[in-house]
A and B are shown apart, each in its own frame.
Chain A
Amino acid sequence: MKKCNQNSSFLVFYALGLLSAFFVFLICHIPLSTFFSNLSYQVDVASLFSLLATSVFGFYFTVILNKKQAINKVENDLLIDYFDKFQKDFGDVIHSMVSSDKVELSTVTSFFKKNSMYMQELVDLIGIKIDPKKLDDVQLSINDLRGLFSDIPRDGDVEDGIRVSGGYLVYSQKQKEKMIDGIRKFRKSVFLVITLINRS
């Protein structure tokens, strides 16, 4: 659909350009008396040149700018889709871990490692469009979540935090509430970055 709109606007501009060129050709080559026998006319070469130049430049810039805008929009849409998929997958896995009674150590470590690497890729990609520092809040919210899932306190098991039981990580209700809040902050920071990409 998008491609169809781009093609049709290009055709309209192309047709207008051809039409302008045709009229300029008529004015230059066919005497007006052919159409209006009782009319006399005077050709102002400067005005004619100006008209021609305006038509050509108008046509050229409209087509080029339109194309650039279309490319920019496609790039933005791709980045947003990529980023949106990341935040959805990340949030879904976090939610499933929060709703579990206990989580395996390897589930937590590999999940956060995989997403750190994914996040690094995103910073590189999104850095083309916006200042990569704008992603700092997203990174911080991921770091906070990592801490909430894996920072076992030094003074041993605590009721309101994380416990280790039989090789599993067990989270208290209070800790789970902090995690839910962490996901909310993460999604908010992603949303802000998406709006920035959209505006770029």
Chain B
Amino acid sequence: MTISIANDFSKTPGFRYKIQSPGISGEEFRDNILEPKYKVAQQNGEVLEVVLDGTSGYLTSFLEEAFGGLQRKVYPEKVSMIQIISNDEKHWIDTIMKRYIPRAYEEMQSKQ
């Protein structure tokens, strides 16, 4: 299963929260697209591919809210069945998989 942020959400992703940029925020992307598709992919035992290419670029807070936020929402489960595809900005792959998701998990752990 694949999500293309440019095709399925917006070519011009916005800020972190809906209140800051309604319709194009990281919060809305996570709640309306990422989380539902992640759950379907998980039920089917598939890896969810998320393609970042094709947009005008991202604010770090948009991606943190989307992927870190997903981890915070599905905790105590660990977000693992996800693959980031980014040919234009390869650095996002490590940033999301090695920073945003693990840090969100650690943050939730530390709260308990």
Contact = CB atoms under 8 A, between A and B. Distances in A.
A151 interface: yes
A135 to B, nearest CB: 12
B14 A105 contact: yes
Nearest to A156: B17
Interface in A134-182: 139, 143, 146-147, 150-154, 164, 167
Interface residues of A, number: 23
Number of contact residues on B: which range applies?
A: 20 to 34
Contacts of B90: 116, 120
A120 B42 CA distance: 33
B91 A105 contact: no
Contacts of B91: 116, 139, 143
Contacts of B95: 143
B88 A116 contact: yes
Interface in B1-24: 12-16, 20-21
A151 B65 CA distance: 10
A113 B89 contact: yes
A109 B57 contact: yes
Given A116-B91, A151-B64, A167 B21 contact: yes
Given A116-B89, A117-B89, A164-B15, A150 B61 contact: yes
B16 A154 contact: yes
A108 B59 contact: yes
B14 to A, nearest CB: 6
Nearest to A162: B61
A154 B65 contact: yes
B68 to A, nearest CB: 9
Contacts of A154: 16, 61, 64-65
Give the interface centre of A106, A117, A120, A150 by most chain B CB atoms within 10 Å. Answer: A150
Interface of A: 105-106, 108-114, 116-117, 120, 139, 143, 146-147, 150-154, 164, 167
Interface of B: 12-16, 20-21, 55-61, 64-65, 88-91, 95
